[in-house]
Amino acid sequence: MEKNTHWLYGKHNCLAVLKNPNRLIKKILVTKSNRRLVPSTFVNKTEVIENKQLAAILKNHDAVIQGIAVLTELLKQPGLDNFIDINKAKRLVVILDQILDPQNVGGIFRSAAAFSVDAVMTTIDNSPHETPSLTKSAAGTFELIPFIRVVNLVQSIEILKKHGFWVIGLDGEAENYLNTFNPVSYNKIVLVLGSEEKGLRPLTKKHCDFILKIPMNQAVESLNVSCAAAIALYHLSIK
């Protein structure tokens, strides 16, 4: 397999990949029952095979393949400078502070797409990159949102602040609640989410404009980070 290429699988994921004009498709493997899912424009790159053959080819992937797989190059993503140059009045960005679980990151992409997030940003180190597990968990939404990866998260937060963004850190131990924040008063918002185990790192927290928590039953200690992201993004997307 060529460098910077990998197999992606799952029906919703593969259909979104095939619809993305920015994807360079190398090959498509599909079972007979799913052949109709592949657009005719890819007929020369498509091979119809049995389920057992497909499973054998993707034997290192511990997941339900759903009868289709696409060999594609990694998606080229914009840098922070490119993103900032886009002229748009209302913007919403999600920053992931060392969230490691690709399934959680995929779930966050689904929520981000549902609430019209403009970009998801994370660090190059100590965070997932584009993987079959992440993209399948995102169920096609990875193709819809820029995934910006930076070297230094704090420096990137400060760059966003200089360009008019207000930064909210989500923290279960915060004094103030998320529902006290009125998103209508702010045109450019960043939501920062901490890791599953440690939450926001102290230095990241220090550079946030607001530290807020989700109001919930005190009998529940915490929410999964992708669930927390969905709740927060629903509130922050209110026009």
Give the per-residue pLDDT at 87.
81
Mind listing the pLDDT tens digit of every residue in the chain (239 residues)? 677 899 999 999 999 999 999 999 999 999 999 999 999 999 999 999 998 899 888 876 656 789 999 999 999 999 999 999 888 889 999 999 999 999 999 999 999 999 999 999 999 998 999 999 999 999 999 999 999 999 999 999 999 999 999 999 999 999 999 999 999 999 999 999 998 788 999 999 999 999 999 999 989 888 999 999 999 999 999 87
Task: Report yes or no: 30 and 77 within 8 Å, Cβ to Cβ.
Answer: no
Q: Which two tokens stand for residue 157?
A: 């937060």
Classify residue 231 by burial, with Cβ atoms within 10 Å: 0-12, 13-18, 19+.
middle
Say if residue 14 is in the same domain as residue 112.
Answer: no
Residue 12: its H or E element: helix 11-19
- Name the pTM for this structure: 0.93
Give the per-residue pLDDT at 82.
94
Give the per-residue pLDDT at 133.
92
Residues 6+ apart with CB under 8 A from 35: 46, 48
Say if residue 161 is in the same domain as residue 193.
Answer: yes
CATH of the domain at 39: 3.30.1330
The residue out of 28, 50, 73 marking a domain boundary is: 73
Give the per-residue pLDDT at 147.
98
Domains held by the chain: number: 2
Full domain range(s) for residue 48 = 5-73
Q: What is the DSSP string of 25-93?
A: EEEEEE-GGGGGGS-GGGGGGEEE--HHHHHHHTTT--S--TTEEEEEEPPP---HHHHHTS--SSEEE
Give the per-residue pLDDT at 61.
62
Give the per-residue pLDDT at 239.
72
Task: Report yes or no: 140 and 12 within 8 Å, Cβ to Cβ.
Answer: yes
Say if residue 44 is in the same domain as residue 130.
Answer: no
Say if residue 90 is in the same domain as residue 207.
Answer: yes
Give the per-residue pLDDT at 2.
72
Give the per-residue pLDDT at 1.
61
